[in-house]
Amino acid sequence: MINSNYEKILEKIARISNLGKEEIEKRIEAKKSKLSGLISKEGAALIIASELGISFENEKLKINELIPGMRKVNVVGKVLNVSTVRTFKTKGGDESKVVNFWIADDSSNVRVVLWDTNHVAKVEEGKIKEGVVVEITNASMRDNELHLGNFSDIKISSEIIEGAVSEKVLREKKISEFVRGEGVKVRAFIVQIFEPRFFNVCPECKKKVDKEGDLFICLTHKKVLPEKRAIVNFVIDDGTDSIRAVLFNDAQISVGFTDFENSDKIARIKQELLGREMFFFGNVRLNSFFNNLELIVDNAKEVDLDETIKILEN
């Protein structure tokens, strides 16, 4: 969410509660601290609003106004793509289905997840497909995804959306403001680099394969001749906090790792990267093993000092 939307929340709380903005912001910062900084300012503001009896529910919102934790969300968007319907077993042993797709309006885009079998059926029947505009009501924001349950509704809308934002939207943030599930852009220094770790994947589906004796077995494609892949981990710091960054495939090339067979070259690249300041683009996720946030880097770029100067001048 951009700052203007935070200001909208602040304005609404101040108007209805008759509290001064300074007092409200003190409460917001206190709430962030209480929750160890695991939520954004916008999320903390929504909690404060709820505590004051102020609701943002049932309003029709633009996609860039959606905040993790929102309930009873109403939004209209154009379907960009639809994934394959997946079947899974519930804890009770029953079979259920889930499907996800992306919708966009002229402000941003968001991933939508359908759990209700009646909603999923609309995808299976081809009613919800790429290019159609859908109206969603009574949904919930979990992290940065819009989830529809039994009490939600989704239907085809006659509304026309011009200029739908199809490219992935990344919010420029400080590391201390990162929230799980969001796409971010951050300017930071590389302060620690670890040795690359290697694993094997199936050449067909690219999923990790296990070695059984002298053979590599893929659950889908059985015996395969695997491809060797690397994971590069390092720590970045922007002055507000630090976070572990994880790079796969093309993201490794963006920082200079092109050859993992030459140990001398790897050592040289690591030395060159240490202390370098770059822009990093990716998604924040929770590492369940360590129970902390990490950044899955999609791309990295050098800091263009001339461009920075122009921005500051403007």
Q: What are 64-123's pLDDT values in tens digits?
A: 888 777 888 999 999 999 998 988 877 777 888 999 999 999 988 999 999 999 999 999
pLDDT of res. 310: 65
Domain span holding position 188: 171-313
Domain endpoint, select from 133, 167, 201:
167
3-class state of residue 277 by DSSP? strand
Are 122 and 163 found together in one domain?
Answer: yes
142 CB neighbour count, 10 Å cutoff = 14
Q: What angle do CA 186, 188, 191 make, to 5 degrees?
A: 145
Inter-CA distances, 182 with 72, 114, 131, 164, Å: 20, 19, 24, 19
Are 178 and 303 found together in one domain?
Answer: yes
Domain endpoint, select from 29, 55, 81:
55
End-to-end CA distance of the chain: 23
Look at strands 171-172 and 183-193 and give their pairing.
parallel
Are 64 and 76 found together in one domain?
Answer: yes
pLDDT of res. 250: 84
pLDDT of res. 1: 40
pLDDT of res. 16: 86
Question: Number of structural domains, the chain?
Answer: 3
Assigned token pair, 286? 């929770």
**Which pTM value belongs to this model?**
0.63
Alpha carbons 224 and 216: distance in angstroms, whole number: 6
Are 262 and 242 found together in one domain?
Answer: yes
* Per-run averaged pLDDT (10 residues), the chain, 314 residues: 64 86 91 75 84 79 82 93 88 86 93 94 95 95 88 94 87 86 90 92 85 84 88 94 92 90 90 94 87 92 74 61
